[in-house]
Structure 1
Amino acid sequence: MRSIFGTSRLHGALMCGLLALGSAGGAIAADRTLTAQDYAQAERYMPYNTMPLVDHMVSTVHWLDGTHFWYVDHDASGDHYLRMDAATGKAESLLDQAKLAAALDKAGKHDIKADKLSISDYRVAADGRDEITIGGTHYLCNLKAAGECVDKATVVKTGKEPGVLSPDRKQEAFIRNWNLWVRDVATGKETQLTTDGVENFGYATDNAGWKHTDNAILEWSPDSKHIATFQQDQRKTGDMYLVVTKLGHPELQAWKYPLAGDKDVTMIERVIIDVPAHKVVRLKMPPDQHRSSLCDDVSCGEDGGWDDVKWAPDSKTLAFVSTSRDHKHETFRIADAANGNVRTVFHEDVATYYESGNGAVNWRYLPETNEAIWFSERNNWGNLYLYDLNNGQPKRAITTGEGNVTEVLKVDAKTRTVWFRGVGRTPGVNPYYQQFWKVSLDGGEPVLLTPEPADHTITLSDDGKYFVDSYSTTSKPTVTVLRDANDGRSVATVATADIKRLLATGWQPPEQIVVKARDGKTDLYGLMFKPTHFDPAKKYPIVDYVYPGPQTGSVRTFGFAPSEYDNQSLAELGFIVVAIDGMGTPWRSKAFHDAWFGSMGDNTLPDQVTAIKQLAQRYPWIDLDRVGIWGHSGGGNTTADAMFRYPDFFKVGWAESGNHDNREYEDDWGEKWQGLLVTNKDGTTNYDNQANQLLAKNLKGKLMLVHGSIDDNVPPYSTFLVVDALIKANKDFDMLILPNMHHGYAVDTPYVTRRRWDYFVQNLAGDTPPKEYALKPWPWR
């Protein structure tokens, strides 16, 4: 499901295990016996082995101010922390790494090495010391003399609740006992802001069902004096239950988890808190849905925050967008921070679902000119429109034509300029390659600032004068340059990736492939992985790694990556592995994305089948009689669906943590992509077309079902529905239950990965795997 699958939450998982049940019908007669050396060769291409072999690949940087940024430059001798001056293009050491490592060791962090510091955040504190974050611990370090570091928590005594820092960095807001508090960063003094928060009706609480954390969801005003947040009402929301496996009495886990079709779901009451006055101003409007214009949570970004709320620069008003339960109706509103008055400005209604961008909420509030930038796919593509806030009417289209604005990175209200990432806007370029543009609010053609036909990752300076551009393709390693944001000219080269050490292992990049979709017209893009010992005279079974969408696809990136999960590793064992973004996935046109709205059982499978058939016609070394499929989360759903819906085509499937029926998953996911639940007079529903258990009787091939026993994203009951149906249909199948594992498999990941390799080797290739090969622990997890 969404994040479930996504970017983040989803794919980072390559999973875990313990309990195996059952065995399915006749395996192919073994042809060859693989050795531990064969598996070791496959393991050479796992991410933890390939990533360290890429030198000088800088994909992200961290701006310190308008003219300085820091980054990590890795080579064979380790990680080097550097700081570049954008004005001169000169780089120097960010800090003395050996001195820092020694100081951290004295401070009690004994597992640190100077060449592998793993710093996640760095800044200069107000007193001039270096403020460094490693592994979630914040250190204050004085490296000017002998070198000394102290854990910041031992200097300023505060509670342990995670806080949201104010813009002036003097306060942080946090949740305690369902109420919102602030603490003074310098002294640790804590002040309670609200007093009427109670269990399941608390302030700023972070609970989307599939996600439930202690983080506070809020937006500070620019002047650091007000907080926009909500009181989240879950008092009528249904509960989810899981049980931890242990000796003795089991431990029950329970939390609020609304399901699709529930009469009562989570609601929010919007408030603005005057921090100095400790005053709560409740917005004068009915309770709102716990929804987002972008994702299936009110907080979509990795850094938290409340995406659909934007403060005015003067902190007197804020704009926000309300999303209906079914995501078909969006309402743009403006609130007065002093009295809570709310004005509705305009609406957008759509037939399927509305999204405000890809990867980021793209609308902006421009109160100085009484305007707003609004994102819409009304012409079948994601474009930006300028609205008049006085009358709620559109003034003009800011961008037009084919291709999508994916992320607005900056708006300069004075020069009336917008900088944005976009895809599909340059003819002849892979439509998934992100490029960077600027455009005027007052009309005119957008200006392309990154002309290279490659995928571009952009990090814009705080003042918008410069940006760092890291660009690459699947076969061309990353080049990172500093550029002028006005015209895109190169100011300095930051780093150029060197893959000589990687190539020495025999590594080869995946091949980009293009096939036709189910309609015979639309181009589909994907990646194909072949063994490094590929022999065109042989016939190879093919494995389809799948993630169906709708919020992401099977291909993580069309930019450079030394490993795409374990796709190359699996190929090394004698397979052709493909990942293909079928219709129903994002980044293309609205029609492409909407291809199977309301029929989630589609799962891109018609595209996957026709694509594999086309590849088999194109390449005689693909064996169309031996087709396997696997995926995690949404891909686990798709895998089981494929084995049931196309039982004569897919012979072997490995389904991990699948949301096999979205009535058993959190409400926002299914209700966005499938629609609100409707039950007919005969008891059938509009969700029946996506329920895997209703098709389980069709199974013919070998199917492994995998799930973590305490998966709080996709609870294991979703897989149990399919298990129950298979048993009642007298079908053989395999199952692997991972005790005390969540949606990602953590320390069990190597075990599950090896078992998956074994499953395809034995049942699809007809070979014999080595006995209990042990993959290394995954240090990068």
Structure 2
Amino acid sequence: MKHLKFSLFISLFISTFLIAQTKEITLEDIWSDNTFRAERMDILHSMANGQQYSVLNFDRYSRSTSIDIYDYKTLEKVKTLVSSADIDLGHFTNYTFSKDESKILLAFAEESIFRRSTLGKYVVFNISENSIQNVADHKIQEPTFSPDGKYVAYGYMNNLYVKDLDSDKTTQITFDGKKNEIINGITDWVYEEEFAFVRAFDWSADSKKIAFIRFDETNVPEFSMDVYGNGLYQTQQVFKYPKAGEANSIVSLHIYDLNVNETEEVKVNKTYNDFYIPRIKWTNNPDVLSAQYMNRHQNELDLWLINAKTNTSTLALAEKDKAYIDITDNLTFLKDNSFIWTSEKDGYNHIYHYDKNGKLINQVTKGNWEVTNYYGYDENTNTIFYQSVENGSINRDVYSIKLNGRDKTRLTKSEGTNSAAFSADFSYFINTFSSATTPPEYTLNSTTSGNLIKSIKDNDVLSQNLSDYKTSKKEFSTIHVNGNDLNMWMIKPADFDENKLYPLLMYQYSGPGSQQVANRWNSANDYWYQHLAQQGYIVACVDGRGTGFKGASFKKVTQNELGKYEVEDQIQAAKQLGELPFVDASRIGIWGWSYGGFMSSNCLFKGNDVFKMAIAVAPVSSWRFYDTIYTERYMSTPQENASGYDENSPINHVDKLKGDFLLVHGSGDDNVHLQNTMRLAEALIQADKQFDWAVYPDKNHGIHGGNTRLHLYKKMTHFINETLGDKIEKQEAEKQKEQVKIKG
């Protein structure tokens, strides 16, 4: 096909290996038995001496956890700092060191609130004294050591508290916190979900001040969800959720001074009518706080430097974009208070160095590729360490470069996905590598050359187990669609015959800046695709316009029209794939979850001459139902862009439905509310369109827990077989007949 340009990045399985593969992957293997669970290194922390690291280990036999110290050079275990078996509190699930590493915060009995937030019991373990100290008698949020290790600040019931570890005294520092009205130092729902952080407070370098964001969500509309549980009557969860165009929390910035026990509000020298404060961070100067302010449209980002002594502010950096600006977590202040910053202002995400006043010193990295992670700066060698897609947008490699932009070195050698965890002195890094053919491997590497020093952990057992199963290679390629070369992967049946016709199931997510076509190891869904390939399906995934890591213009082309170009790309890709001699163009389906469910619904409705079926899990059916920060970043407000909201929302295209449609949602979804599915279902009913659907009681956006995932994937597999697999069943029947004849 002239439309397809295949450039495979992975090697073929050799024929003798294929012959050995006899077992078939079952849904129980994937979601019940954890047959394909990969070994990991949990909560790795590099010790300050640069020669050792700690890991949280879990003993499945004793059901205990421990923090164990290992030596970088030998990789041998040096000692156990603390084990839950010795402190009689049950096993802990997380840990944080004080800066001097003399104390450890241990988390117990954690319970999830929303996607990133948790409540938990916490104790401080004093290493030298081998003693524990309760932080609070109740469950709290985000406990954080002061830099000197003498205090722990935390959130409780929407207020902030400080525990003095020497005196064991707790001081309440805010008093107006109230559920669904005022939150101090902990983010509201929409900040947590879309700005991806929970702790909205930060200690100054001298441990004398705490800066925090206050959220006044009094005027934010409430959303309620029924919780059915096991009781005679259902209960309700009620929380503030600002939908697109509605009122956000009013945010303000405050600084609490421990010496005088007083709090002062911070004002910056610019008039903001409606704004966000998505990040705060103290500089190395204990009197200077940095704060990022962003307008509601999210196309202007200001970095302010605030003097806590004089309560004056200076604008250090101001960025503007025609579409939107992504928040950066890479702000790093050097000893002279110059700072490192990442931005895509030249069209690709790169690293910049500014002086303490915000004047550009130099652009550190350059090129038509993206920096995907910033690891840190070694002041002794003036070297920055980062991850990028310079070696192809589906791959990740680790690099070093001098602060002046010279002497760039690729530190990782294997093609796939590489991710680094550096020692505190940047002498070593632990590399996590995986690819579509190699499960995660953990190795110790030299920082100067990247060369392998020792292997730490691999998944050879998993590889060996997989060799018993009938699996197919994941083929990476590009497909030329609507003027763009789009990344694609495809999985074919292991016994693929190019002279046969196969049904095609397409998967995608397609959200702004996302990526599904990546050279990395399997997720649970990949094993499901192998299961489908065993049944005679071809499975493919195409990352269309709007997805990430190919530059700002490729990503931001969907601005103000979410669901237009992405849908056009999926429909056109399906048409071109349907022209392949081995694809049955009459049996092409598509599925997706969340944004992917929004997409699969639109594709089936708008591409009713291409797609025979679609599955939409937890879909957005109208952007009017989704939250302010995410939606308005890409769509502005409904008041300003009504047509953008309505012309590309599935709820307004139900009349076009011709194929088979399965709609799935969790009733306890606090993110994409069940409202989306209910309104879409009602629109389909009133349009007299038949469809299948399922609602999972009290399940959130992930639809998991107990037997839920297995049930869901059985339902989806059955739906695929019923809608796309009719000819597969006939082929299997014919095959069985032939086998009977041969035996006869």
Q: TM-score, normalised by structure 2?
A: 0.82
Structure 2 residue corresponding to 1:422, chosen from 365, 388, 393: 388
5+ residue gaps in structure 2? 1-21, 111-120, 730-744
2:12 aligns with none
Helix, strand or coil at the partner of 1:746 = coil
Helix, strand or coil at the partner of 2:569 = helix
In the TM superposition, what is the alpha-carbon distance from 1:414 to its structure 2 partner? 5.7
Are the structure 2 counterparts of residues 431 and 187 from structure 1 closer, same or farther at C-alpha, using a change threshold of 3 Å? same
In the TM superposition, what is the alpha-carbon distance from 1:673 to its structure 2 partner? 1.2
What amino acid is the match of 2:607?
Y
CA contact (8 A) 1:58 1:470 kept: no
Q: How does 1:46-445 map to 2 (within 5 A)?
A: 49-52=34-37, 61-65=44-48, 66-71=50-55, 83-86=69-72, 88-92=73-77, 95=80, 107=88, 109=90, 120-121=94-95, 136=110, 158-166=137-145, 167-185=147-165, 188-198=168-178, 200-209=181-190, 216-245=199-228, 248-262=232-246, 264-285=247-268, 291=276, 298=278, 308-356=279-327, 361-366=329-334, 368-369=335-336, 371-390=338-357, 392-413=358-379, 415-423=381-389, 425=390, 429-445=391-407
Q: How does 1:650-661 map to 2 (within 5 A)?
A: 650-661=611-622
- For 1:241 and 1:185, locate their aligned partners in 2 and report how far apart those are by CA, in whole Å: 40
Are the structure 2 counterparts of residues 339 and 126 from structure 1 closer, same or farther at C-alpha, using a change threshold of 3 Å? closer
In the TM superposition, what is the alpha-carbon distance from 1:133 to its structure 2 partner? 5.2
1:574 aligns with 536
CA contact (8 A) 2:93 2:107 kept: yes
- For 1:142 and 1:179, locate their aligned partners in 2 and report how far apart those are by CA, in whole Å: 27
> Aligned residues, how many?
683
Q: How does 1:656-667 map to 2 (within 5 A)?
A: 656-667=617-628
- For 1:41 and 1:535, locate their aligned partners in 2 and report how far apart those are by CA, in whole Å: 23
Helix, strand or coil at the partner of 2:26 = helix
My pick for the range that moved more, 644-653 or 558-567, is: 558-567
- For 1:76 and 1:612, locate their aligned partners in 2 and report how far apart those are by CA, in whole Å: 46
- For 1:704 and 1:188, locate their aligned partners in 2 and report how far apart those are by CA, in whole Å: 57
- Superposed CA deviations along residues 386-405 of structure 1, whole A, max 9, x for unmatched, are 23443x44232211121111
Q: How does 1:641-680 map to 2 (within 5 A)?
A: 641-679=602-640
- For 1:315 and 1:523, locate their aligned partners in 2 and report how far apart those are by CA, in whole Å: 50
Structure 1 residue 484 corresponds to structure 2 residue 446? yes
Are the structure 2 counterparts of residues 77 and 627 from structure 1 closer, same or farther at C-alpha, using a change threshold of 3 Å? farther
In the TM superposition, what is the alpha-carbon distance from 1:245 to its structure 2 partner? 2.8
Structure 1 residue 503 corresponds to structure 2 residue 503? no
In the TM superposition, what is the alpha-carbon distance from 1:763 to its structure 2 partner? 1.5
In the TM superposition, what is the alpha-carbon distance from 1:502 to its structure 2 partner? 2.2
- For 1:208 and 1:675, locate their aligned partners in 2 and report how far apart those are by CA, in whole Å: 20
What amino acid is the match of 2:244?
A
Q: How does 1:449-468 map to 2 (within 5 A)?
A: 449-468=411-430
In the TM superposition, what is the alpha-carbon distance from 1:713 to its structure 2 partner? 0.7
In the TM superposition, what is the alpha-carbon distance from 1:451 to its structure 2 partner? 3.4
- For 2:608 and 2:693, locate their aligned partners in 1 and report how far apart those are by CA, in whole Å: 18
CA contact (8 A) 1:57 1:74 kept: no
- For 1:382 and 1:142, locate their aligned partners in 2 and report how far apart those are by CA, in whole Å: 42
CA contact (8 A) 1:123 1:132 kept: no
What amino acid is the match of 2:36?
M
Are the structure 2 counterparts of residues 125 and 186 from structure 1 closer, same or farther at C-alpha, using a change threshold of 3 Å? farther
- For 2:676 and 2:565, locate their aligned partners in 1 and report how far apart those are by CA, in whole Å: 17
What amino acid is the match of 1:183?
K
- Superposed CA deviations along residues 24-53 of structure 1, whole A, max 9, x for unmatched, are xxxxxxxxxxxxx9997354355953434x
CA contact (8 A) 1:291 1:668 kept: no
Are the structure 2 counterparts of residues 84 and 601 from structure 1 closer, same or farther at C-alpha, using a change threshold of 3 Å? same
In the TM superposition, what is the alpha-carbon distance from 1:337 to its structure 2 partner? 2.1
2:721 aligns with 761
Helix, strand or coil at the partner of 1:568 = helix
My pick for the range that moved more, 205-214 or 634-643, is: 205-214
What amino acid is the match of 1:354?
I
Are the structure 2 counterparts of residues 644 and 734 from structure 1 closer, same or farther at C-alpha, using a change threshold of 3 Å? same
Q: TM-score, normalised by structure 1?
A: 0.79
In the TM superposition, what is the alpha-carbon distance from 1:724 to its structure 2 partner? 2.0
Structure 1 residue 630 corresponds to structure 2 residue 591? yes
Are the structure 2 counterparts of residues 724 and 384 from structure 1 closer, same or farther at C-alpha, using a change threshold of 3 Å? same
In the TM superposition, what is the alpha-carbon distance from 1:649 to its structure 2 partner? 1.0
- For 1:324 and 1:734, locate their aligned partners in 2 and report how far apart those are by CA, in whole Å: 42
Structure 1 residue 524 corresponds to structure 2 residue 507? no
CA contact (8 A) 2:122 2:136 kept: no
- For 2:363 and 2:589, locate their aligned partners in 1 and report how far apart those are by CA, in whole Å: 46
Structure 1 residue 709 corresponds to structure 2 residue 667? yes
CA contact (8 A) 2:284 2:333 kept: no
What amino acid is the match of 1:317?
V
- For 2:92 and 2:522, locate their aligned partners in 1 and report how far apart those are by CA, in whole Å: 20
- For 1:253 and 1:234, locate their aligned partners in 2 and report how far apart those are by CA, in whole Å: 16
- Superposed CA deviations along residues 483-504 of structure 1, whole A, max 9, x for unmatched, are 2323423333323431443233
Are the structure 2 counterparts of residues 126 and 632 from structure 1 closer, same or farther at C-alpha, using a change threshold of 3 Å? same
Aligned residues with identical type, % of pairs? 24
Helix, strand or coil at the partner of 1:639 = helix
CA contact (8 A) 1:120 1:135 kept: no
CA contact (8 A) 1:328 1:352 kept: yes
- Superposed CA deviations along residues 255-281 of structure 1, whole A, max 9, x for unmatched, are 11111112x322210112223432212
Are the structure 2 counterparts of residues 81 and 289 from structure 1 closer, same or farther at C-alpha, using a change threshold of 3 Å? same
1:31 aligns with none
Are the structure 2 counterparts of residues 140 and 255 from structure 1 closer, same or farther at C-alpha, using a change threshold of 3 Å? closer
Are the structure 2 counterparts of residues 407 and 314 from structure 1 closer, same or farther at C-alpha, using a change threshold of 3 Å? same
- For 1:344 and 1:316, locate their aligned partners in 2 and report how far apart those are by CA, in whole Å: 16
Are the structure 2 counterparts of residues 47 and 139 from structure 1 closer, same or farther at C-alpha, using a change threshold of 3 Å? farther
Helix, strand or coil at the partner of 1:163 = strand
CA contact (8 A) 1:515 1:614 kept: no
Q: Which has the higher contact order (CA 8 A, sep 6+)?
A: 1
Are the structure 2 counterparts of residues 386 and 143 from structure 1 closer, same or farther at C-alpha, using a change threshold of 3 Å? closer
- Superposed CA deviations along residues 444-463 of structure 1, whole A, max 9, x for unmatched, are 24222223323101111223
What amino acid is the match of 2:456?
V
In the TM superposition, what is the alpha-carbon distance from 1:134 to its structure 2 partner? 6.4
- For 1:668 and 1:762, locate their aligned partners in 2 and report how far apart those are by CA, in whole Å: 39
- For 2:534 and 2:651, locate their aligned partners in 1 and report how far apart those are by CA, in whole Å: 34
CA contact (8 A) 1:261 1:676 kept: yes
Helix, strand or coil at the partner of 1:206 = coil
In the TM superposition, what is the alpha-carbon distance from 1:584 to its structure 2 partner? 0.5
5+ residue gaps in structure 1? 1-36, 110-116, 293-297, 299-307, 770-781
CA contact (8 A) 1:163 1:172 kept: no
- For 1:259 and 1:140, locate their aligned partners in 2 and report how far apart those are by CA, in whole Å: 40
In the TM superposition, what is the alpha-carbon distance from 1:76 to its structure 2 partner? 13
CA contact (8 A) 1:548 1:604 kept: yes
What amino acid is the match of 1:453?
E
- Superposed CA deviations along residues 271-323 of structure 1, whole A, max 9, x for unmatched, are 1222343221211236685646xxxxx3xxxxxxxxx3232223221222211
Are the structure 2 counterparts of residues 175 and 495 from structure 1 closer, same or farther at C-alpha, using a change threshold of 3 Å? closer
Are the structure 2 counterparts of residues 101 and 318 from structure 1 closer, same or farther at C-alpha, using a change threshold of 3 Å? closer
Helix, strand or coil at the partner of 1:601 = coil
In the TM superposition, what is the alpha-carbon distance from 1:73 to its structure 2 partner? 9.2
Are the structure 2 counterparts of residues 328 and 123 from structure 1 closer, same or farther at C-alpha, using a change threshold of 3 Å? closer
Are the structure 2 counterparts of residues 655 and 207 from structure 1 closer, same or farther at C-alpha, using a change threshold of 3 Å? same
In the TM superposition, what is the alpha-carbon distance from 1:64 to its structure 2 partner? 3.4
